[in-house]
């Protein structure tokens, strides 16, 4: 018997046996997508590769922003100021995202991606170099907002353009998988940097000099953007996938055309908008999405509230990125195809009710007394969570178990409601106005950010404050109240779905009737 097997525990043997199964399942999922897209042009593989790398960079940096603002900026921003700052930054991203489509139509996918990636390179280059809020804002955050806004929608447009009608579903499936792989990679980078260089100490880097740990994460994000830029350079202009195969058309000069197209698009957008806002159906559409936005705001708190909460409550160096940023996307990768296959005949409304109830109620698990987890902490489950997953060899903090259970159940619910939310949004948009309605579907989330950003800062300030020097306090007896607030907001969505079920079902029935007429 090999020595490592003789020394392994039963849990080790289970893990050794389970990992090949998961790896095989992941390879099968990816192979299924690739097989259906084998005739697509090389541009689609460039898009998938750039999506993976970009989300790794974005995922690592995104969890770092609020920490950087309250620790490295001189003078440091308060919790509420940092929360409001991030909210404003996020609002700029949303606003820009709603305008990017016309630019892409005018100058093409490659040029738009080059602009987006170059803007990200510029912004990410300056982030490790400054502790001044004005410099960081103008040369870092603002360019990154525009670059991030450009990259997301254009990648989606590219997938549609580089696939056949039948291959589009596979393209978006692989796109979603790569996005989650990238996000998990980014969270892993976030935790490994903090584990290797300390929560705040940092290290000296040749050329760049001494960098704090958070600036080092920004540097890694900048370095990851370089291969993305190179990949985009390898794309060809004028490439499209048709039912007859790949077609390459000669690119037109886009200078004047781009300006005129954008002007026309802006004019047409405001014309259509002025018409749409007068329609009763539009406000019904916005109201329904407004009901659904509350559970979506939990993601915002995972990204911007949880990093500070985790470091203060769980301790410096704890792999808080793993608890959500690795665990959530890893489960989603395997669970979404499985749930989709089993529930393809179930209506979107029912799936959203079930999923949002599970996700919203799971938040309250984080409020359970620590004694609730005493039976699991010293069991094989505790060994799996604390030692194998998080690498904790010292004190096993009970709150961690509650957070892990919460994230697992939240993610199972997400696998039910998140894909169906996107489907439902597209289904209830009136025929011929899909583009306008889907673009305006960002409005409820856009409006909510004005409140959720400052609220995020207030929650960590009120229930997990620091001392005068910015250091965590010895204990936080009311830290559970953070999740009471977040769960209280999230639960509005499933309750709203039930209370206004007639409205949601009426929209589904109208869409079914319309589909029957067009067959």
Distance (Å, whole) CA 471 – CA 494: 38
Here the tokens at position 470 are 């910015």
Distance (Å, whole) CA 110 – CA 118: 12
DSSP per residue, 179-218: HHHHHHHHHHHHHHHHHHHTTTT-EEETTTEEE-HHHHHH
Backbone angles phi, psi at 245, to 5 degrees: 130, -170
Pairing outcome for strands 203-205 and 239-242: unpaired
DSSP per residue, 427-473: HHSPTT-HHHHHHHTTHHHHHHHHHHHHHHHHHHHHHS-B-TTSPBP
Distance (Å, whole) CA 317 – CA 198: 7
Q: What one-character DSSP code corresponds to residue 74?
A: S
pLDDT of residue 150: 82
Backbone angles phi, psi at 185, to 5 degrees: -65, -40
Pairing outcome for strands 239-242 and 245-248: antiparallel
Question: What's the whole-model pTM score?
Answer: 0.87
User: In 3D, which of 185, 208, 196, 221 has the Cα closest to residue 61?
Assistant: 221
Q: Tell me which H or E stretch contains 247.
A: strand 245-248
Report angle CA 327, 493, 100 to the nearest 5 degrees. 70
Q: What is the pLDDT along the chain (519 residues), one digit of tens a residue?
A: 444 344 446 667 677 677 788 777 778 877 777 777 777 788 888 888 888 999 999 999 999 999 999 999 988 999 999 999 999 999 888 888 776 656 666 677 888 888 889 999 999 999 998 899 999 999 999 999 999 888 776 776 777 778 776 677 777 778 888 889 999 999 999 999 999 898 888 888 887 788 999 999 999 999 999 999 999 998 887 776 666 666 666 655 555 555 665 566 566 656 666 776 777 777 787 888 888 899 999 999 999 999 999 999 998 889 999 999 999 999 998 888 888 878 878 888 888 899 999 999 999 999 999 888 888 888 888 888 898 889 888 788 899 999 999 999 999 999 998 887 776 776 666 665 655 666 677 778 778 888 888 999 999 999 999 887 778 888 899 999 999 999 999 999 999 999 988 887 777 666 666 555 555
Here the tokens at position 436 are 């306008």
pLDDT of residue 105: 62
Report angle CA 298, 492, 445 to the nearest 5 degrees. 50
Distance (Å, whole) CA 168 – CA 157: 11
**Cβ neighbours of residue 169 under 8 Å, at least 6 residues apart?**
none
Q: How many CB atoms lie within 10 A of CB 248?
A: 11
293, HSE (Cβ side, Cα atoms, 13 Å): 17
């Amino acid at each position: 018997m090999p020595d490592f097997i003789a020394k392994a525990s039963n849990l080790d043997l289970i893990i050794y046996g389970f990992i090949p199964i998961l790896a095989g399942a992941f390879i099968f999922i990816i192979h299924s997508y690739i097989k259906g897209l084998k005739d697509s042009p090389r541009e689609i593989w460039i898009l998938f590769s750039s999506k993976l790398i970009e989300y790794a960079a974005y995922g690592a940096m995104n969890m770092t922003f609020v920490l950087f603002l309250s620790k490295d900026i001189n003078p440091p921003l308060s919790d509420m100021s940092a929360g409001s700052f991030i909210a404003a930054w996020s609002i700029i991203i949303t606003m820009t995202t709603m305008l990017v489509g016309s630019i892409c139509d005018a100058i093409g996918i490659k040029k738009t991606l080059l602009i987006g990636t170059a803007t990200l390179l510029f912004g990410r280059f300056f982030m490790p170099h400054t502790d001044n809020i004005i410099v960081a804002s103008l040369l870092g955050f603002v360019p990154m907002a525009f670059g991030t806004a450009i990259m997301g929608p254009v990648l989606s447009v590219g997938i549609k353009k580089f696939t056949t009608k039948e291959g589009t579903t596979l393209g978006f499936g692989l796109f979603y998988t790569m996005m989650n792989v990238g996000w998990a990679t980014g969270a892993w980078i976030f935790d490994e940097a903090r584990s290797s260089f300390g929560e705040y100490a940092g290290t000296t880097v040749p050329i760049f000099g001494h960098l704090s740990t958070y600036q080092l994460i920004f540097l890694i994000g900048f370095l990851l953007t370089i291969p993305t830029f190179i990949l985009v350079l390898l794309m060809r202009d004028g490439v499209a996938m048709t039912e007859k195969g790949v077609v390459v058309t000669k690119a037109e000069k886009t200078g004047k055309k781009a300006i005129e197209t954008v002007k026309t698009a802006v004019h047409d957008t405001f014309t259509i908008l002025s018409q749409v806002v007068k329609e009763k159906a539009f406000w019904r559409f916005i109201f329904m999405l407004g009901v659904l936005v509350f559970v979506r705001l939990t993601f915002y708190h995972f990204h911007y509230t949880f990093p500070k909460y985790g470091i203060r409550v769980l301790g410096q160096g704890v792999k808080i990125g793993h608890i959500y940023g690795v665990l959530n996307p890893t489960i989603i990768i395997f669970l979404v195809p499985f749930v989709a296959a089993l529930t393809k005949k179930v209506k979107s409304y029912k799936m959203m009710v079930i999923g949002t109830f599970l996700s919203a109620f799971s938040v309250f698990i984080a409020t359970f007394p620590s004694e609730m987890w005493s039976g699991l902490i010293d069991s094989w489950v505790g060994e799996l969570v604390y030692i194998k997953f998080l690498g904790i060899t010292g004190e096993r903090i009970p709150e961690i178990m509650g957070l892990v259970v919460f994230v697992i159940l939240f993610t199972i619910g997400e696998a039910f409601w998140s894909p169906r939310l996107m489907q439902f949004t597209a289904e209830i948009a009136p025929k011929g106005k899909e583009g306008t309605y889907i673009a305006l579907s960002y409005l409820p989330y856009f409006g909510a950010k004005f409140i959720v950003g400052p609220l995020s800062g207030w929650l960590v300030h009120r229930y997990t404050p620091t001392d005068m020097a910015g250091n965590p306090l010895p204990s936080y007896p009311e830290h559970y109240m953070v999740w009471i607030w977040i769960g209280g907001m999230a639960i509005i969505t499933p309750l709203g779905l039930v209370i206004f079920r007639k409205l949601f079902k009426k929209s589904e029935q109208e869409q079914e009737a319309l589909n029957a007429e067009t067959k």
